[in-house]
Amino acid sequence: MQLSVNFPKGFKYLPEFLSPEEQKELVDTLRHLVKKAPLFTPVMPRTGKPFSVRMTNLGTLGWVSDRIGYRYQIQHPETNQPWPEIPRSLQNLWNKVGDCPVAPETCLVNYYAATAKMGMHQDRDEKTFEAPVVSVSLGDTAIFRLGGIKRGGATQSLKLNSGDVVALGGDARLCYHGIDRILSGSSSLLKGGGRLNLTLRRFSPF
Ligand code: MD6
Ligand code: FE
C-alpha cells in the first residue's frame, strides 16, 4: 500500500484504474495502431546513444529524440506519415482524470523490454505546463521513482502495475521521475512480455 500523504501536491496515483477487460481492449487497439506507426529506437541528442525503450506516438504531434535534439513533430520519423489518432478510450480517460478543459494532443507510447529503464527526467518539451501529463501502465510492473522539482532531491519509489494511472499536474507537473526497472514476467497482458507506458499530453497553450 502506498502512503499517498507523502505524494507531492498535483501528483495523482490511481491504482487499478483500468479493469483487466479494459486493459485487454486497449492493448488490442494499440496493436493495430503500432502496425501503422511502428515502434522506433530513439537516440540521445549529440551522442546518438540509443534509448533502451522503443517508442511511437499517437495524436496530432509526437515527441521524438535524435542527434539534433528533443522535439515534437507531426510525422513519424521513419515512415514520415502523420501519427495515428489517439483512440477514444484514451481521450475518455484524459477527460476523467486530466482536470483539463481541452483534449490531449499527443500520446507517447513507450515499450520496455525486460531490461529497459528510463533515467530521471522532467517532461518539459511542451510549450505549456498548464495541462497535466497523464500516464497509463500496461503489462509488466515497473519501479517508478518520483522526485521533486529540483534535480537531486529526495525521491520515493512506487510500483506501477498494469492498469494503474498516474498524473503529474499542477505543482507536480515538473517533478523529476524515471523508471528504475521492470519486473519481468509480472504480467501476462502483453504477448512476449514487457511493459507499455502511455503518456497523454498537451503541447499547445489553451
Ligand atoms: C513510465 N513515465 O512510466 C515513464 N512522465 O514509463 C513518465 O515518464 C511519465 O509516468 C510524465 C508523467 C507521468 C509519467
Ligand atoms: Fe516522463
Residue 136 and residue 191 in contact, taking contact as beta carbons nearer than 8 Å: no
Is the pLDDT assigned to residue 30 strictly greater than 80? yes
* pLDDT, averaged across the chain: 97
Task: Determine how β-strand 118-121 pairs with β-strand 177-183.
Answer: antiparallel
Residue 177's Cβ-count burial label (10 Å; 0-12, 13-18, 19+) is: buried
Cβ 168 under 6 angstroms from ligand 1: yes
CA 69 – CA 45 distance, rounded (Å): 5
pLDDT at 71: 98
Ligand 2 ion: residues within 5 Å (CB): 123
pLDDT at 4: 59
CA 121 – CA 37 distance, rounded (Å): 25
Is the pLDDT assigned to residue 51 strictly greater than 70? yes
Cβ 197 under 6 angstroms from ligand 1: yes
Cβ 57 under 6 angstroms from ligand 1: no
pLDDT in tens, 79-126: 999 999 999 999 999 999 999 999 999 999 999 999 999 999 999 999
Ligand 1 centroid – CA 176 distance (Å): 10
Please give the number of the atom of ligand 1 that sits closest to the Cα of 168: 12
Sort residue 99 into left (φ over 0), alpha (ψ -120 to 50) or beta: left
Helix or strand (DSSP H, E) at 120: strand 118-121
Ligand 2 centroid – CA 177 distance (Å): 6
CA 72 – CA 75 distance, rounded (Å): 9
- Partner residues linked to 144 by β-bridges: 158, 179
Ligand 2 centroid – CA 200 distance (Å): 10
Is the pLDDT assigned to residue 204 strictly greater than 60? yes
Is the pLDDT assigned to residue 36 strictly greater than 70? yes
Burial 105-124 (b: 16+ CB within 10 A, else e): bbbbbbbbeeebbbebeebe
Residue 148 and residue 181 in contact, taking contact as beta carbons nearer than 8 Å: no
- The helix/strand/coil state of 96 is helix
pLDDT at 3: 57
At residue 78, what are phi and psi to the nearest 5 degrees?
-105, -40
DSSP assignment letter at 86? P
The ligand that comes nearest to the alpha carbon of residue 129 is 1
